[in-house]
Each structure stands twice: as structure tokens, then as C-alpha cells.
Structure 1
Amino acid sequence: MTESLPLWRRLLRVLAIVLALLVLLVLSGLLLADRLTPQARGERSGVLPVQAAQTRIDREVSALQAAHPGQSGVAFLSDGLDAFAARSVITERAERSLDLQYYIWHDDLIGHLMARALHDAAERGVRVRLLLDDMNAQDKDALMMALDSHPNIEIRLYNPFRNRSGIWRMVEMVQRVFSVNHRMHNKSWIADGRVAIVGGRNIGEEYFSARADVNFRDLDLLVAGEAVDEANQVFDDYWNSDAAVPISALAYHTRAQLRLLMRESDNRARLDAAQPYLEEVAASRQRARASEEPLHWSGDVHIVSDPPMKHRRDDRHDWLVTRLVDMLTAARHKALLISPYFVPGDEGLQGLAQMRARDVQVGVITNSLAANDVVAVHGGYMHYRVPLLQAGVQLYELKAHGQATSSGLFGSSGASLHTKAFVLDDRHGFVGSFNLDPRSAYLNTEMGVIFDDPVLARQLTGEYLRLASPEQSWWLGLDGRDRVRWLQRTPPPTWIGTEPDSSLRLRTSARVISWLPLESQL
């Protein structure tokens, strides 16, 4: 009788088999490539042509455009309640079409209130097209299919999984690890092809100041006029791309699901937590009637985006990162950057250092470890703090519990930065979905608004200064041994030697992650 193998050798054999299976699974994904990706089956469609006076929005925007020919009107939406109300009001006023694309749509209070608003619009005869990234759509098929069952609503998923849930979705993620890594991070809400909201907010409670534990400080721009034609083209390009697959080709639905969704949305609208949002929508209607012109009109505003099939193109000339880097490197005296996930990489570090060498003031606001909702990103960012500070870059990190300055329902609770923007030379600027990290640059698709306008630049600078204030953020510096220190600038000023407001476990996790070769995925 042969002796049984030692336990360690049996475990080693099992581990080798598991690793071999994983390698074979990934190799099969590489060899089969796009054959594993669900193929687009939706009919092509385009934005419905705008008319001079067909809808209420047509009439309002046409009158404003007549007074500002060739220009675009812009309004900043930094407050969560205002951002919710703006979406709700333009949705209520839409009479022709609603075109939306989002990275995340949560199944929560805000998600249900906005889903109900889309359904109500569809009931009025409005055509609704909703494009969602599929990475965060797991377990939401019932919600999506309920809406999609309405004859005036169609939902498509970007780069979707064949397997909708469970272990097989996980197996597919491993097999398609390289192709599923490319996601649609765009965020836009377009009403009647005339008014667009573009920026950093996804659809969920934390993006609209509706959670009791943590909320994102975020920024959108409401745009009307010439630039909205660019938003319409971006949406149509994505909607008709090979990466967009109708949810109806991936999952099954019944009419009963729609009835259940509407009952649940009605119940949520009756909750006490929903009342401030519904009241803000009513107040926003009153403000819109009382104000003849709430927008700032400018002749140099553009809505820009990555190509929808970015992950299949080696030519980067039309990638958003190329355009934004060109803007940054052209700065002559000031560059103020806001990015929740800030991993500049060696190339970005070199670029910022060269700007400082040209005597350009460079300031960066990002999340502190305690405020960052993705510890891995902070681990990637940690490497760059010392060389950035040595180069003369001003670094600020948002506090997790800054003083509330917005009218959000839970403004004094934990905060995490989610605004993605920059302002250059007091006139050029960008607001959108693009983080200053490798994922936004090379993996995800992104979009946003760029402008050349001193008034808009002044507004964005005000947002930067608010976030950089002593109440909201830490100022970073180096001690005599080039170690990072955090300055608490509220009286009495105090230097802190470790990541503020963070636990030993959190600091250890970030440090360990910083040693791993993950930067290209952050």
C-alpha cells in the first residue's frame, strides 16, 4: 500500500490545478475575444429633431438662444438638492425625448424617485432611452426590465455580461477579465435634445445628499443652447455602438414587474426622507418661473467625450485624456485641479513638475485616506505626495467630516469628494466624469464640459477655494526629513504626522496595497 501524500503537497497540488484552470479560463477569453461579448441587437435610432416651438422646453430655449445666438447657457449644480431638482424639473417639462447615460443607477430612494419620473414621462408619450454601464447593474435586472417593458422606454447596457448573476457571472468576469475592465463612466441627462446635465453624479442617494452616513461632494453643469447638440451626438454614438446591448436581449420581464416597481416607487415617495427632495422640486419650479435667465451664456462651451469603442482603438488622438492634457500643459500661470481619485503616474508627475518649473501655480484637491471610498486608489496616490510637494505642487486632502456648507439633508455627516474638475488661468475649465488617474485616461470612457470663459472660471475657482478651505481640507507639507505632514489650519494650527482621522487598520491596508503592481487599474 502506497503512503498518502503529505497535506502540504496535496494542498499545493490543488492550488496548482486551480491556477491552471484560471489561466486556461483567461486564455480562452483572450482567444475567443469578442465572441464572448453579447452582440448588439438594437435598432439604430437618433435624437428626435428639435423644433422651434413643439415643446415647452423648445419654446423656452429658443427664446433664450434668440437673445444669445451661437452661445450656450450654463448653470452650476454643486448642491445635491439642487442637482436632484434640476433633473426632476427638466424631466417634468420634457414632451419629446429623454436620453440618459450613467455608470451607476442605485436601487434606492433616489433611484426609485427618478425611475418613477421617467415612467411618468413615458406615460405622457415621451420617448425615453436609458444607457447604463453593466458593471454595477448586477441584481437590478428586475428594476430595469420593469421600466423597459413600457412601450416608450428602452434600456441598453454598455459592455454587458451574458450571465446576469451568481457564480457564472463571476466566472465570466474572470474569463473576460481584460474586456470587462473597460467601462462607460459617462454621466448625462438630456431633455428634448435641448437641455443637458453633465458632470460627476451617478444616480443614488449618496450623490444627492440623501444618506445619513456618507455623502459625495459633487458637481454637475446644466447646459442649454449650442453645446447640447454635442451631447446629443455623444449619446447617439454610444447608443448605436457595438458595446450597447438592449436589456431585452439579456433578461426576461413581465408586466407585473412594472406594476410592482411603480408601487414600490409610490411607497418610497411617501417616506419622510423623500419629502425634502419633493419640496425642492416644487421650490425649483417657483425659482424657474421667477427668474427670466438663471444661466450664464458663453460662446465657448463644448461637451466632449471619449469614443464609445475606446477600448478597441490604439489611436489616442480623439481620446479625452489627449484633449485635457493639451489644455493643462498650455496653462501659463495657474492650474487648480479637483479629483477624488488622483494617481498622476510618472508621466503626470513629470508634467505637473514641469508646470511648476515654468512658475505655474499648481493646486490639487483630492480625498484624504479617511474620506476616500476606494482605499486602493489612495494606496496608488501615496507614492506621489512627496515628489509633488518637492516640486512645489500645493496639495489639499478633503476631511472626512468637514463643516457642512451645503443645504443637503445630511451635510454635516461624513463626506467624500466626487467632483472632477479643473480651472486654468482664470478662464479655461473642465467639469465632468474624468478622474486624474490611469483608469479614466486609458480604460474607462469619460465625458464632460470644457469652456473658455472668465465668469464660469470664477465660479469654478470659488468651488475649488471652498473645498480647499481650512474647514474642509488638510493642507499637506514636508518636514525636515521629507516626510508628509498634515496641517490642521483651524485654530489652533496643528501639524499631524499620520493620515488624519484614519485607523491603523485602514493605514496598513493602504500601505500594503501601495506595494502591489495595481496602478494601471486604479
Structure 2
Amino acid sequence: MHRSKWTRSSAILLQALLWLGGCASVDFDYPKTESVSLAPEQTSNTYLAGAVFDTVGTGPEGQSAFHLMPDGVEALAVRLGGAARSEQTLDVMYYLFNSDLTGLLVIDALLQAADRGVRVRLLLDDVLTRGYDRGLIALDTHPNIEIRMFNPWARRFMRSLNMLFDFGRLNRRMHNKAFIMDNQAAVIGGRNIGNEYFAADESVNFGDLDTLVLGPIVDEVSDMFDLYWNHELSVPVPAIIPPPSDPDREIGEVRQRIADALVLAGETHYSAMMNDLLAYAQLSADDYLWAPYQFVYDSPDKAIKKKSEQAQSILTPMREILLAAEKEIIVVSPYFVPLDTTIKGFGDMRERGIETIVITNSLASNNHTVVHSGYAPSRKPLLEQGVRLYEVRPDLQAMGVEKSGIARSGGTLHTKAFIVDRRKVFIGTFNWDPRSAFLNTEMGVIIDQPEMAAKFAESVEAALPTSAYRLELHENGKLRWYTEIDGEEVEFDKEPETSGWKRFKVKLFGLLPIKKQL
């Protein structure tokens, strides 16, 4: 009798779960108006067009101008300054957009631009927007702001259950990041929007890299944005979030939240430089380097399983530049989970006399322990293939923290770049892991500029002795970590600055068949 009741209850519960998880669906046919970027000629009379010309001119044919931004404060300042000076369009796409201080500063800049009559298009991946629905739909009611969500969740309040029943679709994400201003200037690179990316977090800040780009490449970035914006997976927020009953009140609450955040910011270390923030965005011609380039990105079709194999892939141009190496490859990737073919490829390069250097996060600095479980088993094979392997220490100081007064915050590597023969540099969103290769959409730029490449390589090498652990494989097959502390080399025989519990979790995660998801 009791067993029969339990069976009926279980069946009812299962049916309820199936209904909750499976009956909701996204209306991908929701009416949306196709829109495209304004051509550079249409924005040639804007302030930014004049500023670009006055600063760098037109440059050599077929080249664009690049300014690298490892400094988090400058990276935020350029975005805010560009938004403040935009007159016609702002096109913004991100994987992650936090609602913290810097996130609200960016939203404030977008709102103020929209109030001036600027058309604002905001495209967000939906994976990390939990709790943002009210704010997003409120902003979308502004006549000059349109927000679309890429590959969204159908059920806004039961995301985990939705993921369980629609894993094949929801597992594929848009990892692209771009901030395009009047189609005259753009910021691309590794940063999302959030305190930790702009040297504004009190505890941990990310060592990251963006580039401000001017010239013909900007129109190519805009073309990519349009492709994603008008794609079938990009859904207007009214299709998935109920409209507010009182739009004016809701958007007023967003404005008030921004105002309150700015007041609270006055009590933080970051306030010391907020009033001078735009001063950090003042650049001269000497801050830019002109170079031939190749702007590369995945097709948004990569996020559709049945279309992914035929979709344009960033892997093709990346392979071409790597296989053309003659002397050296330096890989900087926060999440590094190499395939067996990648490890073998490094070994083949070593036989050809090409040195490979890999810099990634240590277990102590990695903000995703589960990813470290996919990377850890590859260390011995990498070292056996002659790869020089370094892991970033958790006391890495992200550039910009000295300006913001957060001098004691920890650090995590988030830069996604590689350098080939100290001639070509890739900067973008691509992590060296299966997720970036096969599941998420990615983008980046390959810059053919020896001066830039050499300076970047030299800055990386100069930081390694005191900011990273050098890994070596001893004769007994055991790993050793070496770093410089107070001028002396220190050796570790296990993952430095980690607890036994954290190391146990890595081993536990390593037992799971999840490497292809990392």
C-alpha cells in the first residue's frame, strides 16, 4: 500500500518536472525588425569620426590602427568616453554583463546616449542574466534602446530544470565581446563587463587585454555584430520577458539604482579616480600602431548543433597562423584544456625547432576549479613534448589596480592571446579548450605588427619570474613548481597555495566525463 502511494507520488512528481522543464519554449519566430549598422560614410560627420581622423589620419591602405589596453581602468574609460561622445549608434555585445558598479556605469552611459537620440543595440548571451529580467525589459522600453538575448532560456524562474531538458541547445553560448561606437571606433578583446575586469573589485581582479581599434576593421566588427543581431537565435526581450505594467516607473527605478550606486561608489577605493575616469581615455597618435590584420569570428550558426559543423570557424585562420610559425609560439590562455592532437602538435613543432611557451592559471588563481581538472592531466605530456609551461600566481596584480587604490586585491589571468614569431599577435575571446573550439562562438583579431608583438612578448617574459610558477618534470615523474619570492627561487612539490580540499575537488572533477564541456 505504502509502496503504491510512493510510486503514484513519484509518477506525479516526474510528470510535473517533465511539464515544467519541457513544455516551455522560446518563440524564435517572434517578430523582429532587421537592422544593420550605419556605414562609416553615414557617421563621417560625427565627433568620433573627426577625433579619429585628427588622431591617426587615414593610415596605409588595408591597415587599421590598434591600441592595446591591459590596464582595466583605461579599458573602462575608453568605453565610457566613447559612449559619451557617440552621436548616432552604439552596438554592444557581451557574454557577461554584471549589475555591479562598473556594469551600472556602462548602463548609465548607454542610457544617457539613448536620451540624446543615439540608437543603442544591446546583445547579451543569456547564460548569466539570472535576476536581470526586470531591468532588461525596462531598458528595452526606451524608444532608442533595443535589447536581444542570444539563445535564451525559455523558463526564466527554473533555469536549471530548463537546462536539464534542453541541454543540447542551451549548452552552446555566444562568447563574443564588442563595444562599437558610431561605427568609427570599437573595443574588442577578452573583457566582459564587471568590476573584476576593470580593476574595481575589492578581492580579485582579472589580468585581461582589450584593443581599441580604428580604421577599416571597425566596419568588419559591425558586420559581425549585424550577423549576430539578426540571427535566428537572437530574440527580442519582449518575447521572453513580460512587459512592465508601468514602463516609466520601471525605467525610473533603473535610473535611481544607478544614482544610488554612484553614491555608494563614493565610499569605495574606486571613487578616487572616478571623476578623472575620462582623462584616462585621452590618447594621441603615438598610442596607436597601424598594421595589416585579419578579423576572425565564428558564424552564429556554430551555436546550432545541426549547423555547427558547416559553420564558419575561427579555428581555420588560427591553425593557419600557428602552422606557419618558424621560431616561437607564446600562448596566453586562462582556461587551457588541450586536446591530445594539440599536445602532439606542440611536440611536432618542437621537432621542427619551434619553441612553445604556455601561460595559464594555476589552481590557486583559477576561478573555475572544474576547468583545472581538465587541464591538470595534460601537464606532464606537455612538458614531455618540450613545452615551457607557466601557471600564474594568485597574487598577480592586474594593471589598473594602483590607480583605483585596490593594491592588495588578488588576481586571475583572463587574457586570451597568442604571439607567433614575435611578429603576429592574436587578441580575442578564444580559450584553448574544447568549449571555445566546438561549443561557444568566439572572435578575435590577428595583427601583423612586429613592434607590438615584440613588446607584448617582452612584457610577458618580464612578468613570469615573479608572477608565475615555472613547471618542471623531475626524473621521478613528479611535477615541481618554481617561482621567485623576495629575490630567491622557491620550489613547491604540490599545487602552490592551495588546500587539500581544493586539490581533492580537482581529482574528483577529473573522474567525471566532462572534458568536452570544459
Give the TM-score taking structure 2 as reference length: 0.91
Are positions 1:484 and 2:474 aligned together? no
User: Cα 1:427–1:258, aligned 2, differ >3 Å: closer, same or farther?
Assistant: same
> 1:283 aligns to what SS in structure 2?
helix
Q: Which residue of 1 aligns with 2:412?
A: 416
Contact 2:392 2:468 in 1 (8 A): yes
Structure 1 residue 249: deviation in Å?
1.9
Contact 2:140 2:146 in 1 (8 A): yes
Aligned length: 505
Are positions 1:261 and 2:251 aligned together? no
> 1:47 aligns to what SS in structure 2?
coil
1:335 to 304, 325, 329: 329
Give runs of aligned pairs for residues 44-193 of structure 1, distance below 5 A.
44-51=34-41, 53-63=44-54, 64-165=56-157, 167=158, 169-193=159-183
Letter in 2 for 1:492: E
Structure 1 residue 295: deviation in Å?
1.4
Q: Which residue of 2 aligns with 1:521?
A: 517
Letter in 1 for 2:165: Q
Letter in 2 for 1:257: E
Q: Which residue of 1 aligns with 2:293?
A: 301
Structure 1 residue 356: deviation in Å?
1.4
Q: Which residue of 2 aligns with 1:200?
A: 190
Structure 1 residue 104: deviation in Å?
0.5
> 2:58 aligns to what SS in structure 1?
helix
> 1:227 aligns to what SS in structure 2?
helix
- The runs of 5 or more residues in structure 1 that have no matched partner are none
Structure 1: how far apart are the matches of 2:440 and 2:239? 24
Structure 1 residue 90: deviation in Å?
0.9
Q: Which residue of 1 aligns with 2:32?
A: 42
User: Cα 1:243–1:444, aligned 2, differ >3 Å: closer, same or farther?
Assistant: same
1:364 to 344, 355, 358: 358
Structure 2: how far apart are the matches of 1:90 and 1:65? 18
Structure 2: how far apart are the matches of 1:444 and 1:15? 39
> 2:97 aligns to what SS in structure 1?
coil
User: Cα 1:45–1:268, aligned 2, differ >3 Å: closer, same or farther?
Assistant: same
The C-alpha deviation readout for 1:343-394, integer Å capped at 9, x for no partner, is 0111211111211121111000000001001111000001100000011101
Q: Which moved more, 1:179-188 or 1:247-256?
A: 247-256
What is the CA RMSD across the aligned residues, in angstroms?
2.6
Contact 2:26 2:240 in 1 (8 A): no
Structure 1: how far apart are the matches of 2:325 and 2:312? 21
Structure 2: how far apart are the matches of 1:182 and 1:146? 27
Structure 1 residue 316: deviation in Å?
5.0
Structure 2: how far apart are the matches of 1:304 and 1:22? 45
Contact 2:59 2:290 in 1 (8 A): no
Letter in 2 for 1:305: Y
Give runs of aligned pairs for residues 306-321 of structure 1, distance below 5 A.
306-312=298-304, 313-316=307-310, 318-321=312-315
Structure 2: how far apart are the matches of 1:488 and 1:21? 57
Contact 2:396 2:412 in 1 (8 A): no
The C-alpha deviation readout for 1:233-269, integer Å capped at 9, x for no partner, is 1000000000100112221232211111111112222
Structure 1: how far apart are the matches of 2:468 and 2:30? 46
The C-alpha deviation readout for 1:392-429, integer Å capped at 9, x for no partner, is 10110010113566435324321111000000011111
Letter in 2 for 1:506: K
The C-alpha deviation readout for 1:317-366, integer Å capped at 9, x for no partner, is 72012221222122111000000000011121111121112111100000
Letter in 2 for 1:504: G
Are positions 1:350 and 2:333 aligned together? no
Structure 1: how far apart are the matches of 2:196 and 2:15? 39
Structure 1 residue 472: deviation in Å?
0.7
Letter in 2 for 1:240: N
> 1:198 aligns to what SS in structure 2?
strand
Are positions 1:471 and 2:490 aligned together? no
Give the TM-score taking structure 1 as reference length: 0.91
> 2:451 aligns to what SS in structure 1?
helix
Structure 2: how far apart are the matches of 1:347 and 1:188? 31
Q: Which residue of 2 aligns with 1:377?
A: 371
> 1:371 aligns to what SS in structure 2?
coil
User: Cα 1:181–1:119, aligned 2, differ >3 Å: closer, same or farther?
Assistant: same
Q: Which residue of 2 aligns with 1:279?
A: 275
Contact 1:181 1:443 in 2 (8 A): yes
Contact 1:38 1:160 in 2 (8 A): no
Structure 1: how far apart are the matches of 2:409 and 2:137? 35
